[in-house]
Amino acid sequence: MTADTQVAGLFGWWRAGTPEGRRALVAGGLGWMLDSFDVMLYALVLATLMQDLDMSKQMAGILGSITLVASAIGGIVFGIVADRFGRTRALVTSILIYSVFTAACGFAQTIAHLAVFRVFLGLGLGGEWASGAGLVSETWAAEHRGKALGFMQSAWAVGYGTAALVVAVVLPIWGWRAVFFVGVLPALLTVWVQRRVDEPAIWRARQARPTATTSGLGDIFRGDLLRLTVPVTLMNACTMFAWWGFNQWIPAYLSLPAAQGGIGLSTRTMSGFIMAMQVGMWFGYVTFGFISDSIGRKRAYVIYVLTAAVLLLGYGTSKTPGFLLLLGPVVAFFATGYFTGFGAVTAEIYPTEIRATAQGFTYNIGRLASAVAPFAVGSMAATHGFGTAFTLAAAAFVLAAVMWLWIPETKGRALA
């Protein structure tokens, strides 16, 4: 019986990891959970913000897009920082940035103030994923890398669900400003990360080489890597467009009155619907890690995004609360779970000296391209209704599946 067989099972992969790997996964997962918690507070209080600051759907969409543009820049910058100065240092800095500026949103008196704070929040948002994905992917063996990254990615659903719970409790009593003030709490995580989480051994070994050369962003466009960087980036851009296109607007869709194209749910009922979706999202993330380690990254990705396209069409055309409550977790399962695979695919394509740089670029240029999604969906919802607007997201999922024609299967590759 092999060692792999002995540790097989639902949690065997966790026991197979090293203490360093487990601490890295906890750090990356908590960082991503709190990242989600902070950034999604905006979507959850959006209907209230639109009334209080007299914002149109188009302007609300623009603010969402501004955050995504900033997060793309932050992801690229922090990817380079993580390769040069270390994964944990970049992780700590990004968490501090998004925590402080989430709280700052609570002080906004105008739309312009809110826009400035959302820009800085976005910089930290983008930086966290690039740092955390590199940290986790480099501390777990190839046969369990997908599972580890799946659990890291699943923390997004926990953060989103926690944000919905906080909004349900805080918003009706203290208002939207207090909701944002709660967002400073993730800064406390940085103390533990600094004390307990080491840089990955493979990164330290690469830095210690006397012949080590400084690599940069341009290296991901050289030779054979160019033919991989382009479709990987485009594929992620399509999934990012789809995800932000409907997730930025689902809370508003559920809570806006019927006269404005919504369902008309109360804040607490809407938050309950969102928390139910996060359950489906969490299972989508986790199961994708197991499935992609079993049948391969490519096949799992294509199955998830095509199924998501079909389900999203049904969600956007329904006005029945009970049906939406049941369908929501299923939509979230398929329309989000595939993100688990992106960290593994990019880790297995790019070498250590440019891994975080490549992950930061391919993930966050996707965010940059998808920055038009909140505005595009919001504008179409204002003129044609949410059902038609959500078809944009469904179409983007289909295009993401097409991009896999040019992306190779990387399952089982050892890191170089």
Pairwise pLDDT comparison (313 vs 247), residue with the higher score: 313
**What average pLDDT does range 314-332 have in this prediction?**
91
**How far is CA 252 from each of CA 51, 199, 313, 351, rounded to the nearest angstrom?**
12, 41, 17, 42
Q: How far apart are the first and last CA of the chain?
A: 28
Q: Which is more confident, 409 or 64? A: 409
Rounded average pLDDT over 152-171: 86
**pLDDT reported for residue 5:** 46
* pLDDT value of position 3: 46
- The predicted pLDDT at position 214 comes to 54
Q: Which tens digits make up the pLDDT trace of 263-279? A: 888 888 888 898 899 88
Q: Quick one: CA torsion of 287, 290, 293, 295, rounded to 10 degrees?
A: -70
Neighbours of 306 (CB within 10 A): 16
Task: Give the SS3 label for residue 238.
Answer: helix
d(CA 385, CA 133) in angstroms, rounded, equals 37
Backbone angles phi, psi at 408, to 5 degrees: -80, 165
Tell me the pLDDT tens digit for each residue of 100-127.
898 898 898 888 998 999 899 888 887 8
Contact in structure between 351 and 416 (CB atoms under 8 Å) = yes
Q: Count Cα atoms within 13 angstroms, Cβ side, for 283.
A: 12
At 406 the three-state DSSP class reads helix
Predicted structure pTM score: 0.75
Residue 309: pLDDT band (50, 70, 90) is very high
Rounded Cα distance between 141 and 414, Å, is 8
Of 288, 294, 295, the C-alpha closest to 148 is 288
- The domains of the chain, with CATH numbers, are 18-197+215-406 (1.20.1250.20)
Cα–Cα dist 316/391, whole Å:
8
Mean pLDDT (the chain) is 84
pLDDT for position 9: 53
- Band the pLDDT of 10: cuts 50, 70, 90: low
- pLDDT tens digits for range 172-181: 899 889 988 9
pLDDT of 51 over the 60 cut: yes
Confidence of residue 211 (pLDDT cuts 50, 70, 90): low
Asked if the model's pLDDT at residue 386 lies above 80, the reply is yes
Report which of residues 16 and 328 the model is more confident about. 328
The fraction of the chain above a pLDDT of 90, given in percent, is: 19
- Maximum average pLDDT range among 70-84, 112-126, 293-307: 293-307
